[in-house]
Amino acid sequence: MADARYYADYLALDRLLDAQHPVSSLDDGPAHDEMLFIIVHQAFELWFKQILWELEAVNATMGADTVPARDLSRAVARLRRVVAIQPLLRGQLEVLETMTPLDFLDFRDALVPASGFQSAQFRVIENRLGVEPTTRLRIKGAPYHARLTDDDRARVLQAEREPSLLEHVDRWLARTPFLRFGDFDFWTAYRGAVNDMLDRERTIIERNPNLDDEARAEELASHDETIDGFAALFDRDRYAQLHARGLRRLSYDAFLAALLITLYRDEPIFHLPFQLLVALVDIDEGFTAWRYRHALLVQRMIGDKVGTGGTSGHVYLQKAAERHRAFGDLFSLPTFCIPRSALPELPEPVRRQLGFRWEHGSGG
């Protein structure tokens, strides 16, 4: 009979709890708050490891040639787990804020040049999601991976070269079989509904008594930009130009599929795909919020000083929050939404295809 498993041994608590080694040295020993600083950042890395564990599994699922509904359901559940972890990351920043700037100064100089910027795991997370390398911020002209060790740099760059979740989702969306509904031309009907909506919106702007001439001109100019956006939606060549300029990252067919899923998310066959798209937006939003929260913490702790890793401190983190996102195209989908009441009515044969078999009497 095997020896009974012991809690501390299973969790390797002897190693885990002996992994905090303050490096500061004051007259009476290490700075008190350095222990908090170490534990919070170690906790970050543990959660990053779990997030990577989930993303690796989701990438394997979405990278397959076909994604059965059962596998898609598991992928959504794993992405929702990542979403559930993200508030914990932000909450740990609140714990860190119990340390005052003077408390931090007790040991800050001893950390140089170590920095959270050197978290290889978080860089791999960004690459696994699909953050575009060309949009990454540089530090004094150096690429984002320049200050990593050789082993960490190799790992991060390997993740950058491998297909990202964005790329897998793009291919999965482009395979959506309902972009065309037989004899029913959805996109022509949708375009007619869009034109009616845009005409109504222009009329509202033109007749709004609360706008002066300058404000009305600004509103109409913004409206014209919206019209241009829709024009690219209905023109593959114009969309390709946006794609080439980096203003769109999803392929044309993938973007249309994402929009179709969003517009008809109430149809049973689109329930899971829509949950996947929402989870991806939530993850992007969660990391953006975490970066902004981190930027505020850094500004609160060091003001306008340079970060220990040589970045511009909170300024760098704020810019990263704005630029280091993977699923910006999904955030733009609401631009192209129209009210449910204006959506083209799907013919009954099409609705049958999008429903559950038992709803139509063909189930067991």
Single pTM value for the model: 0.89
Beta bridge partners of 91: none
What is the rounded distance in angstroms from the CA atom of residue 7 to the CA atom of residue 270? 44
CB 274 within 8 A of CB 262: yes
CB 106 within 8 A of CB 303: no
Instruction: Please give the Cα distance from 40 to 34 (Å, whole number).
Output: 10
Q: Look-up: residue for tokens 């999965």? A: 172
User: Are the C-beta atoms of 348 and 268 separated by less than 8 Å?
Assistant: no
> Which DSSP state fits 99?
S
Find how far residue 121's CA is from the centre of its chain: 16
The mean per-residue pLDDT over the stretch 98-127 comes to 90
DSSP-derived 3-state class of residue 269: helix
Strand ranges for 278-345 from DSSP E: none
92: tokens are 């740990």
Other CB atoms closer than 10 Å to residue 59's CB: what's the count? 19
- CA atoms of 80 and 95, how far apart (whole Å): 24
Per-residue pLDDT tens digits for 202-258: 999 999 999 999 999 999 999 998 898 889 889 999 999 999 999 999 999 999 999
* Token pair listed for 150: 């050789």
CA 362 to chain centre: 40
Q: How far apart are CA 267 and CA 332, in angstroms?
A: 22
Q: What is the mean pLDDT of the chain?
A: 89
Average of pLDDT values for 299-327?
Answer: 75
**pLDDT value of residue 132:** 92
d(CA 130, CA 164): 5
3-state secondary structure of 186: helix
Q: How confident is the model at residue 79 (pLDDT cuts 50, 70, 90)?
A: very high
Task: Show me where the domains of the chain are located.
Answer: 28-162+267-331, 180-264+335-364
Asked if residue 277 lies in contact with residue 285, where contact means CB atoms within 8 angstroms, the answer is no
Of 108-122, 168-182, 247-261, highest mean pLDDT: 247-261
Cβ neighbour number for residue 230 with a 10 Å cutoff:
16
144 three-class SS: coil
Q: What is the CATH number of domain 28-162+267-331?
A: 1.20.58.480
Gap between the Cα atoms of 40 and 358, Å rounded: 51
Min mean pLDDT across 35-39, 203-207, 276-280, 318-322 is at 318-322
Of the candidates 163, 157, 145, the one whose C-alpha atom is nearest the C-alpha of residue 55 is 163
Q: Residue 344 is encoded by which pair of tokens?
A: 């083209």
